[in-house]
């Protein structure tokens, strides 16, 4: 408690106000919203999103979301637009102008120039009687009752509403385009998210080699093979057929069970029916199977032929875990 202020209560009140504002947006999903989505779907150009102040920051986030979900977009700052950046706009573009009041000086100066270009102008605005709203071809209503700011001044609830309306647009466009996880991966090749969506088992296992022994291999040969490849396991192969797997754990259990190791062969200690994964599967699927079976490696196959091993350390190195 600072100066007798209940901080938790204040935070909850702010979240409650913003949550209510977002829920109210459902009433504002009108035919204009549908038409904007349809126009963007048929667009030959880009979506230009502009704003001033905090609305400009929201515009940048909407542009980022559009671009990452298959809608080519460009941010244009409303203040910079009248000082040369209007050249960004091409004849086949659609413009979304974001403003709470719709009456800021920068918007009033900019809108007439936007109208001259002949492009479709969409107003994401919180004042339906404003200059921007009256000049727009379509309106996305983001009216809020009040800001979460105790003085009802700092853009809080209003920018949250703008952000949510932008997300509603992006998701609608994504759904209409049947934008899949593979499409998403094309725009997110970096980082763990992208790798989960495109990195294949073979991309990792092909670098590991193919540790294998025959069923009659003695224990010394088995240990040397496992040690050489540093994957914690070796496949047991007979005439090209995968028979089983021997892991570090199998070696330890063997030492506990047998005193005389001289006559032990690979076939005596191998685990039958090893867990495998096709080399063309996603690496993320390999992680899922390892977790599901509480194991550290999988034998990699193609058409039931042994191709190598993928280890959980491979996934760690790539940041998939």
310 within 8 A of 232, measured Cβ to Cβ: no
- Which residues have CB under 8 Å from 183's CB, separation 6+? 70, 177
Which SS3 state, helix, strand or coil, does residue 92 take? coil
Residue 141 CB: number of other CB atoms within 10 A? 21
Cα–Cα distance for residue pair 42/38, rounded to 1 Å:
6
Q: What is the spatial distance between Cα 33 and Cα 131, in angstroms, rounded to a whole number?
A: 19
Q: Using only C-alpha atoms, what is the Rg of the chain?
A: 30
Q: Does the annotation list 77 as a binding residue?
A: yes
d(CA 193, CA 123) in angstroms, rounded, equals: 33
Helices marked H in the chain: 7-24, 31-41, 54-68, 78-81, 105-116, 131-135, 157-176, 181-187, 191-198, 201-205, 219-229, 248-257, 266-269, 283-293, 312-317
Distance in angstroms (rounded) separating the CA atoms of residues 257 and 278: 34
**Of the candidates 91, 57, 15, the residue with the CA atom closest to the CA atom of residue 166:** 57
Q: Residues at the annotated binding site?
A: 77
Q: Residues at the annotated binding site for Zn(2+)?
A: 77
């Amino acid at each position: 408690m600072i100066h007798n202020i209940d901080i938790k209560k204040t935070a909850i009140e702010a979240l409650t106000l913003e949550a209510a504002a977002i829920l109210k947006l459902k009433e504002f999903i009108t035919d204009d919203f549908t038409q904007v989505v349809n126009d963007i779907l048929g667009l030959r150009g880009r979506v230009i999103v502009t704003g001033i102040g905090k609305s400009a920051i929201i515009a940048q986030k909407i542009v980022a979301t559009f671009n990452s979900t298959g809608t080519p977009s460009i941010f244009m700052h409303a203040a910079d637009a009248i000082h040369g950046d209007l050249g960004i706009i091409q004849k086949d573009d659609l413009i979304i102008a974001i403003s709470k009041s719709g009456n800021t000086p920068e918007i009033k100066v900019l809108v007439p120039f936007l109208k001259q270009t002949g492009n479709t102008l969409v107003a994401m605005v919180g004042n339906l009687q404003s200059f921007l709203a009256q000049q727009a071809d379509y309106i996305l209503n983001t009216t809020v009752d009040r800001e979460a700011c105790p003085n009802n001044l700092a853009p809080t609830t209003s920018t949250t509403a703008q952000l949510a309306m932008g997300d509603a647009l992006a998701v609608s466009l994504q759904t209409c385009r049947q934008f899949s996880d593979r499409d998403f991966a094309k725009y997110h090749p970096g980082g763990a998210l992208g790798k989960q969506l495109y990195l294949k088992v073979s991309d990792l296992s092909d670098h590991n080699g193919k540790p294998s022994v025959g069923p009659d291999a003695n224990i010394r040969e088995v240990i040397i093979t496992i040690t050489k490849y540093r994957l914690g396991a070796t496949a047991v192969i007979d005439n090209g057929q995968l028979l089983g797997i021997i892991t570090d754990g199998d070696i330890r259990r063997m030492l506990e069970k047998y005193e005389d190791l001289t006559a032990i062969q690979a076939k005596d200690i191998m685990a039958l029916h090893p867990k495998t994964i096709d080399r063309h599967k996603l690496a993320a699927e390999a992680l899922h199977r390892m977790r599901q079976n509480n194991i550290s490696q999988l034998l990699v196959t193609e058409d039931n032929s042994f191709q190598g091993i993928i280890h959980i350390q491979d996934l760690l190195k790539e940041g998939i875990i």
